Chain A
Amino acid sequence: MDISTFLVQCLNSIQYGLLLFLVASGLTLIFGIMGVINLAHGSFYMIGAYLAFSIAPFFGNHFIAMLLAGVALSALFGFFLEWIFFSYLYQRDHLQQVLMTYALILVFEELRSILVGNDVHGVKAPDWLSGGVSLGGIMTYPIYNLFASAACIVVAIGLYLVVNRTRLGMMIRAGASNRDMVRGLGINIRLLYRIVFAAGVALAALAGMIAAPMASVYPGMGGHVLIVCFVVVVIGGIGSISGALIASLLVGFVDTFGKVFFAQLSGIGIYVLMAIILIWRPEGLRSKGY
């Protein structure tokens, strides 16, 4: 493998890793702060992708506007979902959470089947993002993939600033480390939870919307991404956003290069990675613990 091929493969790895991070960061927020094992998180990714498929025709070339509208809609959806379902889950044990959120997967899949059917769809990238650039003379790299990476980086930086530089972020970090202390300080934990949950849903849906023009939109797409995201969250350390970022990129690299060099074993690469990291650090790379 020459150097320019290697660099393009790195770009592929980063792009995949960043997309994973968007989904996984929401999962780690919900998991780390509220202690809810949310199996339905992959469904939010799927909902995002189908949302993009449904509303893209109304926005045409205003792709950014579509993303913002989609984020607003899915955050609103998450807000009410927390109100109606998840707020009753916090005091339950993990088994009940798993059962409940698994049931939600089935409900979401069925609703999707009723509303948009079981067909596979493609979403067209807007004109200003179609086409490609020549990279190192090897191949044409789709501009949309570059845009997706850039969008993920913008969101990641925004997330970093919110979590580390704002009062809300301080409460979130405190909530991840010591929930009882936060409650004891008189912070409105219900509202905090609702906001965090809505943000988590919006992040997953945003990832789905960004992924839609790159990956086809198909039933059951949430299940695949969910498993990989749990791997990311476990490697990164539960509740840690920076851990999730490092883990996502690691998984992206292992998956991408595994596919190229160990084609027959490519399905297990990330699980081997997880095993090695957990032997070395049982709590994950950046565990905050709680």
Chain B
Amino acid sequence: MKYFSKPAITLSIAVAVATLSTTPLAVAQSQAPIKVGFMLPATGTFASLGNMIENGFKLYVNEQGGKLGGREIQYFKVDDESDPAKATDNVNKLIKRDQVDVLVGTVHSGVALAMAKVARETNTLLIVPNAGADVITGAMCAKNIFRTSFSNWQPAYAMGKVAAERGHKKAMTITWNYAAGTESVKGFAEAFEKGGGKVTQSLTLPFPNVEYQALLTEIASQKPDAVYAFFAGGGAVKFVKDYVAAGLNKTIPLYGPGFLTDGTLEAQGAAAQGMITTLHYADNLNTPRDNTFRLNFAKAYKTNADVYAVQGYDAAQLLASGLKAVNGDIGKRDQLVQAMRSTTVDSPRGKFTLSPAHNPIQDIYLREVKGNNNEVKGVAMKALADPARGCKQL
């Protein structure tokens, strides 16, 4: 017994017992699927966007053989109807009724705000795959809230810089009167006025109203040098068409964040040709990573990937990086969050890291519409980080 001290024996017995007792538990755990709750729009003007996000997410999971961190993934779905009034009820359905491990959603900023609020209160892990509301990774930032898309400020700020550089002095803005719209317009004005321009008037209409004619008349009578518009989905289709139908595109260039022309080009047709927008993704990046992704996406869903698909795909990648670090044990929240926080996401848009407030630090591309594509023309701003105003927690 010379070589084995008493404590060493006790320790080894303890280790053996611990291994024996935890092994079956670990096996059981790896068999129970991780519950992912999708809260996305399935109806209304954003329906197709929600569909792309979900498909993107599932594509990555399927590429990993249906498992993340060694565990099966089980999906739960709620249609958020892009209605902030129903958001709290809907998110509680996923958290309380389905008891999901992680929430993924959504498109509409107002709905996402309500989700973030509930996620903070219940400490549920939340990954936002689109909604750009600045406060989600600003004043409302939290350890358990992540975003794989953008803040409204990001593409808008980049566009403001570009518009000023193009020599425009007087601009008007137009958007829906809701969080995403007003924040986007503010971001544009910030950079545009820093570059020496001036936003003379900000037009708004209620979401999801598409009666633009009166506001277009106002633009026509004011004759600004440029117009910055924030719309998405069906509203974006109609706005761009109406703008051209009113003949305004001939004299007043129309700018916007990429949502104005993303996922909407087929419906916009000739009206959108030549339009300049800024976004964290473009159609012909032509990197090996993006090409593989687009090919796989097209094979799986018989349609071309867009920015929404990329954001959903990256939401799954981000979750995977966290689950990998804890071997699928989603209960180890601190380690999981730490791993997600410090990962570099190998996104089809180009690699990105997360800011301390959990928002992507990413390149914003300058794009031009050619045919059915938003072709990249260059990088408007490199590695642009959201200022995360008001974020105290992180």
Contact = CB atoms under 8 A, between A and B. Distances in A.
A259 interface: yes
Contacts, number: 114
B217 A120 contact: no
Interface string B203-233: 1111011110111111011000000000001
Interface string A29-60: 00000000000000000000000000000000
B20 interface: no
Interface in B7-65: 42-45, 47-48, 51
A140 B247 contact: yes
Nearest to B182: A264
Main secondary structure on B side of the interface with A: helix
A267 B206 contact: yes
Contact of B42 (A1, A118, A139): A118
Listed residue (A13, A139, A257, A267) with the most chain B CB atoms within 10 angstroms of its CB: A139
B234 A216 contact: yes
A142 B241 CA distance: 11
Contacts of A12: 213-214, 217
A140 B241 CA distance: 13
Listed residue (B45, B208, B221, B237) with the most chain A CB atoms within 10 angstroms of its CB: B221
B213 A138 contact: no
B44 A218 contact: yes
Contacts of A16: 211, 213-214
Contacts of A2: 221
B273 to A, nearest CB: 16
Given A216-B234, A216-B237, A266 B205 contact: yes
A288 interface: no
Contact of B215 (A1, A15, A215, A260): A260
A255 B221 CA distance: 19
A141 interface: yes
Interface string B137-180: 00000000000000000000000000000000000000001000
A178 interface: no
Contacts of A164: none
Contacts of A264: 177, 204
Contacts of A109: 43
B213 A118 contact: no
A5 B209 CA distance: 22
A132 B242 CA distance: 11
B295 to A, nearest CB: 24
Given A109-B43, A122-B241, A267-B206, 6 more contacts: A13-B214, A134-B247, A219-B44, A219-B47, A224-B209, A260-B215
15 contacts: A9-B217, A9-B218, A12-B214, A15-B213, A118-B42, A120-B45, A120-B47, A132-B246, A138-B221, A139-B217, A142-B246, A218-B208, A219-B47, A259-B215, A263-B177
